[in-house]
Amino acid sequence: MRITFLLPCDNLTGGTRVVAVYARELQALGHDVLVVTCAPDAPGWRQRLQTIASRQRSEPPALGHVAQSGVPHQVMRRAGPITASDVPDADVIVATWWETAVWMDRFPASKGRKVHLIQGYEIWLGAHYAARVQAALKLPNLKIAISRDLKSTLEAALGPLDITVIPNAVDLKQFNAPPRRRNAVPVVGFVYATAAIKGADICIAACALARQQLPGLRVIAFGVDQPMAELPLPERAVFTHRPAQHTLRERYSECDAWLFGSRLDSFGLPMLEAMACRTPVIAVPIGAAQDLMAGGGGVLVPKESPSGMASAIVQLCTQPEAQWQQYSDRAYATAQAYSWGDATRRLIDALDGRAGLSA
């Protein structure tokens, strides 16, 4: 098949990683794949002011997941929209964000059967966008959601949409670790992000509460955002800004527990990446958390509850070693049970069944 993916930009977000992996896996199976992205966004005014105030040179833009994957990648010279004249004829064209679904809807049939890979209910953009996002989700196309939770959320809000669920997986070559013991001095980690929906403040507060019983608790964090004074990291936390992809397994493997406190997430790839590195996860029931924790590789805690997350940190870090080892083994087994190869085969099956195409 000739398959085109439409992305608003190439960056280091989880949604872009998913597209890059699918493109790579499909190409490896012999499909003709192209990812088309808009021109990179210019730095916002707040970022420019922070650069001036700190008297530092702005960092060079990091290569996004698509560029790093090595798949055929066409970057437009403008911010968008992507039009029919910007993409080749194909068998399938895949929108990966609500706005790209709107652009895609205007394309002629020669650009391919239209597929919307739904990676989020993007009404978090604000009330001004909600009606446009909902209209985009109702457009006629093959709809694929990345988690059962996302499908349920969408159909509760918009009614039946005939959505196929194909869960995300994890790169088991990139994220892997040998069996290990729990650290003598407990270590937890989380993704630092300044957006409130990512819940870094919940993880930070939980670490502070857990330290009341575990004063030696070490904390590590990484993220694409630089820490802000309005959202300070826990004391003595070790933070890595935009870590190289090949180092992520080391960060996850350092931890006795990985924290996931997101307020809004359609999947939560860091949970699965941590589990692939034999790290139990402490998560709120958002995105794929309930499905991933069902195998016993972590602990679910209430939403918006730093105290609940802190209690789980203390539990995992003080229970008998054998019990922690069970969590670690089950986390690893969960990650190993489903690969990107499995997900890609499901994707091809969905395209074959709905679009009448053969691989």
What's the pLDDT at 2? 96
- Please give the backbone phi and psi of residue 207, each rounded to the nearest 5 degrees, phi first: -65, -40
Is the torsion defined by CA of 43, 99, 190, 173 positive or negative?
negative
Among residues 155, 242, 246, the alpha carbon closest in space to that of 192 is found at 242
Is the torsion defined by CA of 295, 285, 137, 123 positive or negative?
negative
**DSSP classification of residue 192:** -
Strand partners, 244: none
Numbered ranges of CATH 3.40.50.11090 in the chain: 2-169+339-355
* Rounded Cα distance, 256 and 56, in Å: 36
What's the pLDDT at 352? 78
pLDDT (tens digit per residue) in 345-359: 999 999 876 444 433
Give the ranges where 124-237 is alpha helix by DSSP (H). Answer: 127-137, 148-158, 200-210
Buried b (16+ CB within 10 A) or exposed e, 102-115: bbbeebeeebbbbb
**Mean predicted confidence (pLDDT) in 300-311:** 98
* Rounded Cα distance, 331 and 297, in Å: 4
pLDDT (tens digit per residue) in 240-269: 999 998 999 999 999 999 999 999 899 999
pLDDT (tens digit per residue) in 41-62: 655 434 443 444 444 455 556 7
- Provide CATH code, domain 2-169+339-355: 3.40.50.11090
- Please give the backbone phi and psi of residue 266, each rounded to the nearest 5 degrees, phi first: -90, -20
What's the pLDDT at 354? 47
pLDDT at 17 over 90: yes
pLDDT (tens digit per residue) in 84-103: 999 999 999 999 999 999 99
* Rounded Cα distance, 207 and 309, in Å: 8
- Please give the backbone phi and psi of residue 199, each rounded to the nearest 5 degrees, phi first: 70, 25
When pLDDT is cut at 50, 70 and 90, the band that residue 38 belongs to is very high
Numbered ranges of CATH 3.40.50.2000 in the chain: 187-336
* Rounded Cα distance, 25 and 7, in Å: 17
Residue by residue, DSSP assigns 210-228 as HTTT-TT-EEEEEESSPPB
Which CATH architecture fits 187-336? 3-Layer(aba) Sandwich (3.40)
